[in-house]
Amino acid sequence: MVSGSDHGHFAAHFHSTTVIDLGLLQYATLTNDSPVKLFVRQFYEYARNFGLARIGFFPANAGDHGSYRSPDGSYLPQPAEGCCIAEMMRIAIGLCDAGMGDYWDDVDQCLRSRFIELQLIDRALLDEVSRAGRPFTTKPGMTADKVTDRCIGTFSAGSDPTALYPLWTLCCVGNCSVALYRAWESVVRPGWRR
């Protein structure tokens, strides 16, 4: 008999939901809106139930997985998107900063276990993935010059607890870069005590 939507419960695309709640938290922090901060905390604590939160694995879709089936009826796996992981870290940091709980262990576990594995730093692996991919042609105004060099340090858009997929999307690259900065900034800021 819980009114789930009043407490941040959801069943939807994970990133589409976390990005909204991240925006709500930023609004609530700027306006000191306690009910909205509480809503985001309830959302965060509910969202941690999906996937394997202790290692920072949050599935692309949350909810009844019976509805995530291919046309032949087989189960569709739900990899974690980089955005899901990055935004959950940013929400945890934001909740801590807003005085809405102590989620630093969540941030630490996520950063060390799954998030760091998303960053692509192995040039040989990037070259191997590129060779195994389909041939491509560049569009006018684009270049294929030094693509691997430009991808070093970027982030993969998909993973499972034991596998990384060679997927790149702009949202994940941007969100993961911001999350990496927020994690670093939260450690080196003056007066850091944890």
How would you write 127-183 as a 3-class SS string?
HHHHHHCCCCCCCCCCCCCCHHHHHCCCECCEEECCEEECCCCHHHHHHHHHHHHHH
The pLDDT of 7-32, averaged and rounded, is 90
Of 168, 152, 80, the C-alpha closest to 120 is 152
Question: What are the tens digits of pLDDT across the range 69-98?
Answer: 667 877 666 788 888 999 999 999 999 999
Tokens of 178: 């911001």
Tokens of 117: 């594995």
Question: What are the tens digits of pLDDT across the range 118-141?
Answer: 888 989 988 888 888 888 788 888
Question: What are the tens digits of pLDDT across the range 21-70?
Answer: 999 999 999 999 999 999 999 999 999 998 888 888 888 888 665 556 66
Q: Where are the domains of the chain?
A: 4-133+143-188
The pLDDT value given to residue 135: 82
Tell me the C-alpha distance between 39 and 16, whole Å.
17
Using the 8-state DSSP alphabet, how is residue 44 labeled? H
The pLDDT value given to residue 65: 56
Among the residue ranges 8-12, 89-93, 166-170, the one predicted with the least confidence is: 166-170
The pLDDT of 158-184, averaged and rounded, is 84
**Burial (CB count <10 Å: 0-12, 13-18, 19+), residue 73:** exposed
Res 6 pLDDT > 90: no
